[in-house]
Amino acid sequence: MKYILKNADFFDGEKFKSGDVSVCGEAASFGVFGNSDADIIDASGLCVLPGFIDVHVHFREPGFSYKETIKTGSMAAAAGGYTDVCTMPNLKPVPDSAENLAKQEAIIKESAVVGVHPYGSITKGENGAELSDMEALAQRVVAFSDDGRGVQNDEIMLLAMKKSRELNKLIAAHCENNSLLNGGYIHDGAYAAAHGHKGISSESEFSQIARDIALIRETGAGYHVCHVSTKESVELIRKAKAEGLDITCETGPHYLLLSDKDILEDGRFKMNPPLRSEEDRMALIDGIKDGTIDMIATDHAPHSEEEKSRGLSGSAMGVVGLETAFPVLYTGLVKTGIINMSELIRLMHVSPKKRFCIDSSFNTGSFTVFDLNKKYKIDPGLFKSKGRSSPFAGLEVFGKCLMTFYKGELVWQENMM
């Protein structure tokens, strides 16, 4: 199919320019080229942006398809402007061998509407005791992670880093020291103290980051920290970068825009790591502004309605985010002047593409189209994801995704599916 988007505002990474965008096969360009039989789309007043890349999502299939499938997850991605996502390995079976990975790959091939790039697990069964078959997985996975669990054993993480460096693959670490959790389920801060909840200490996160930074020094491995949430974590990573270590990190939209002062007695405010203090949130803002934090990832983690209806203490950890990430970030960070559009595109496209070696670009026909002036309230009932639990439900935002193209194919159009 050929398309011409007439009179679009095209963002080239630094500035907007107005004109037509042509799509033919797995290619796109600014301007019109030989598309006499193209489908003409009036894009007046609309903004063409690079397709977003999320390096941290949970699509739950195989094993937990009642929460999400690769089909519904990838549709949610497309509806949020994402053209590529990286799926975490807490599945059944865990992709810890070529045989187990093949089950996920078959479903991706059959049902994904955007680029879905699987992680391989660091350890067998994500049990932290024995390395996965990293060598057999390396050419078929985007990186290695045991996300959902921190690798508790220092020696296992050391071996994983040595092997990952040998294979030229990243370790993407969920940093959490189980000995410091103390049964907590929200941040160990003012809200927990005032409402009688058990708190998760900040040290449970940053102490394991400190351990792993020491292991990076020893091994030279490429290392990426998942969902950074504390001020201490930001400072540790800032110093490690200044030292020249091969380290990057991500944070999530909810950690940048919410803190424990925003928590309500509702499972949609429960995720891991938890919403931290306002001081932590401001440190994360500083981290995205000075480049310490390289990218924003949603940690899209859908659960059933029943699993998220048990309040803060009983609900499952995790919230959805693919369909809300850009509008909440654009509204909360760009329109308020905290960062500019170029910086947001760096966080949502440029840095994840580069760090995780994902072949996605406007030129290859992968991009998204937004109405940046469209104002609306976030309604989880309209999500394409099976998950409905969002801390941003009811929030008034700007920026509506109207179309997403993946490799030249129109995979999302508002009201078309």
Where do we find the tokens 């360009």?
29
CA dihedral (6, 7, 9, 15) positive or negative: positive
Q: What is the β-pairing status of strands 39-42 and 47-50?
A: unpaired
146, 299, 371, 379: the active-site residue: 299
**Cα(202)–Cα(408) distance, rounded to whole angstroms?**
44
What residues contact 416, with CB distance under 8 A and at least 6 apart? none
Q: Distance of CA 89 to CAs 85, 97, 217, Å? A: 13, 11, 26
Q: Is 36 exposed, middle or buried (0-12, 13-18, 19+ CB in 10 A)?
A: exposed
**Cα(284)–Cα(410) distance, rounded to whole angstroms?**
35
What residues contact 227, with CB distance under 8 A and at least 6 apart? 56, 174, 250, 251, 252, 255, 273, 297, 299
Pair of tokens at residue 404: 């997403």
Residue 112 dihedral angles phi and psi, to the nearest 5°: -75, 140
Confirm whether 299 is a catalytic residue. yes
- Per-residue b or e along 90-113, where b marks 16 or more CB atoms closer than 10 Å to that residue's CB: bbebbbbbeebbebbbebbeebbb
- Residue closest to 225 by CA, chosen among 245, 199, 196: 245
Query: At 212, which amino acid appears?
Result: D
Q: What is the dihedral of CA 225, 369, 256, 246, to 10 degrees?
A: 20
Active site residues: 299
